[in-house]
């Protein structure tokens, strides 16, 4: 798409504008819509604002945990409850609290003890948040849906075999 504009009495300027696109895949279809929207937006803004992406990721983690029954108002307490449930694979459990810490840089500015400067969210940190969210999605939504589809297919096959023999 070309946009043209005239500033003052000068020549018309043209710019080629491309639609925005994320550099990661969208949330899986098994993920609830509200969570998928937050995740997809976090992916979309990652290159422009790692801080915004991390804040959206933090919000999305809280949404996933609430959806899984961890209703604590405070994300720290929800994560602690999720970890205490011993449901999560160890690697995912270890990474989950790190998402909260990175998201806190965005949501609650922290200052460096030595320089006094606000600690920024680095792009690789915001990217890691998205990776951890993808693992949460896989654990809570994608894998259970795939497993259920396999069980349903086997049940249908067994039901069909029973009707043929009777």
- Cα–chain center distance at 105: 17
The confidence band for 7, taking pLDDT boundaries of 50, 70 and 90, is low
Q: Is residue 3 part of a domain?
A: no
pLDDT tens digits for range 99-158? 777 766 655 565 555 555 556 788 888 899 999 999 999 999 999 999 999 999 999 999
Tens-digit pLDDT profile for residues 63-114: 999 999 999 998 889 999 999 999 999 999 999 978 777 766 655 565 555 5
Alpha helices by DSSP H, the chain? 33-45, 50-67, 75-84, 90-107, 123-137, 143-165
20 assigned to some structural domain: no
Q: Does residue 9 lie in a domain region?
A: no
The residue range of the domain holding 62 is: 28-165
- Cβ neighbors of 34 (< 8 A, separation 6 or more) are 63
Task: Say what the pLDDT of residue 108 is.
Answer: 57
Quickly count: other Cβ atoms within 10 Å of residue 88's Cβ: 17
- Tell me whether residue 106 is in a domain: yes
**Does residue 17 lie in a domain region?**
no
pLDDT of residue 138: 97
- CATH of residue 58's domain is 1.20.120
Instruction: Give the CA count within 13 Å in the CB-facing half-sphere of 83.
Output: 15
Q: Is residue 69 part of a domain?
A: yes
Residue 40 lies in a domain: yes
pLDDT at 121: 80
Domain-located, residue 22? no
Domain count within the chain: 1
């Amino acid at each position: 798409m070309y946009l043209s504009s005239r500033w003052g009495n000068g020549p018309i300027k043209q710019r080629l504008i491309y639609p925005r696109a994320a550099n990661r895949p969208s949330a899986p279809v098994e993920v609830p819509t509200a969570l998928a929207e937050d995740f997809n937006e976090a992916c979309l803004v990652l290159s422009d604002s790692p801080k915004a992406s991390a804040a959206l990721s933090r919000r999305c983690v809280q949404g996933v945990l609430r959806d899984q029954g961890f209703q604590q108002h405070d994300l720290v307490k929800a994560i602690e409850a999720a970890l205490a449930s011993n449901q999560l694979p160890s690697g995912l459990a270890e990474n989950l609290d790190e998402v909260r810490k990175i998201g806190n840089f965005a949501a609650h500015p922290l200052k460096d003890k030595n320089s006094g400067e606000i600690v920024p969210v680095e792009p690789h940190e915001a990217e890691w948040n998205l990776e951890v969210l993808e693992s949460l999605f896989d654990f809570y939504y994608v894998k259970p849906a795939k497993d259920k589809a396999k069980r349903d297919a086997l049940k249908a096959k067994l039901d069909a075999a029973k009707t043929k023999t009777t």
